[in-house]
Amino acid sequence: DREFLRRLHLAGRHGTFLFDAGIQLLLPWPFLINNTIEVWDDVLGAPSRYSMLDLLVLTMLLRLLLLPRLAAVFHPLSSGNARIWARFTNQEIDTWFVVRLLLNDSVPFLLAFWAVSVLAFSYAMFVFERAYNIGVESNSALLHDSGLSTFMNCGWFIIITMSTIGYGDLSPVTRMGRIVAVVSCFAAVVLFALTVNLVLKLLTLSYSEENLLRVVDRFDAR
C-alpha cells in the first residue's frame, strides 16, 4: 500500500527490497520446469541440455547471500546500546561491518563460511556435470558421464580444487562445469586469505604477553 511505499522511500532501502524480492522469486515455477536449456560445449562437440527445474533449484542457492544479514541480526553489536555508542563515534553498524568482524575474530563463522561454499559449489557442479543427454540432432542422444555424476564425487573435486591440490583424477567437461571450477578457485583464494589472517591473529601475542616476555628477558639478562 501507499504507507508501505512511503516508509520504504524514507528508509532508503529500495535496492535492498528489490534484491530480496528478486531472490525470493527464484522458484521452480510449474510453467517453467518442463523446459530445457542447451549450452554448446566445444569439447563435447554438442550441446549440453539442462532441465529448467534443476537450474531454478540451483538459483535458489542465491538465498545463501541472506545468511550474513541473519548473522548480523543476532550479533551483540546489533543491540541498542551498541548502536548508541556507534552514533557517538560516527560509525554505522551494518551487515558488512559485522561480517568483517566475524571473519576476523570467529573461527566457527569462518569454518561455516568454508562449509557453505564447498556445499554450494559441489551442488552447482553436480547439476552441470552429472549424466546428461547430448546430441546434435533432436532424434539422437548420447548418455555421457564425466565422472562427476554423484554429489560425493563433486564434493571431492571441489575440495581438492579449492585446496589447490588438484589430483587430476576428476575434471569437468562441460562449459558450465568449468566455469563453476574457475569461480571456486577464485573463492578459495579469498577464503585462504581470510583463514591465514585469522590464524595469524590467534597466534600473535597480546600486548600484555609481550610485556611479560620483555620483563622476563630483562631479569634473565641480570
pLDDT of residue 202: 86
Residue keyed to cell 546428461: 132
**Nearest-angstrom CA–CA distance, 142 and 133:** 6
Cell numbers for 118 = 564447498
pLDDT of residue 123: 94
pLDDT of residue 1: 63
pTM over 0.85: no
pLDDT of residue 75: 84
Kindly give, in sequence order, each residue whose CB lies less than 8 Å from that of residue 212, ignoring residues fewer than 6 positions away: none
- Cα 23 to chain centroid distance, Å, stands at 15
Output the DSSP codes for the chain: -HHHHHHHHHHT-HHHHHHHHHHHT-S--TTTTT-EEEEEETTTTEEEEEEHHHHHHHHGGGGGGGHHHHHHHTSGGGSHHHHHHHHHTT----HHHHHHHHHHH-HHHHHHHHHHHHHHHHHHHHHHHSSEEE-SSTT--EEE--S--SHHHHHHHHHHHHTT----S----SHHHHHHHHHHHHHHHHHHHHHHHHHHHHHSPPHHHHHHHHHHHHHHH-
**Nearest-angstrom CA–CA distance, 174 and 130:** 10
pLDDT along the chain (222 residues), means of 10: 72 76 83 83 77 88 87 82 80 84 89 94 91 49 67 93 87 89 95 92 83 81 66
pLDDT of residue 115: 95
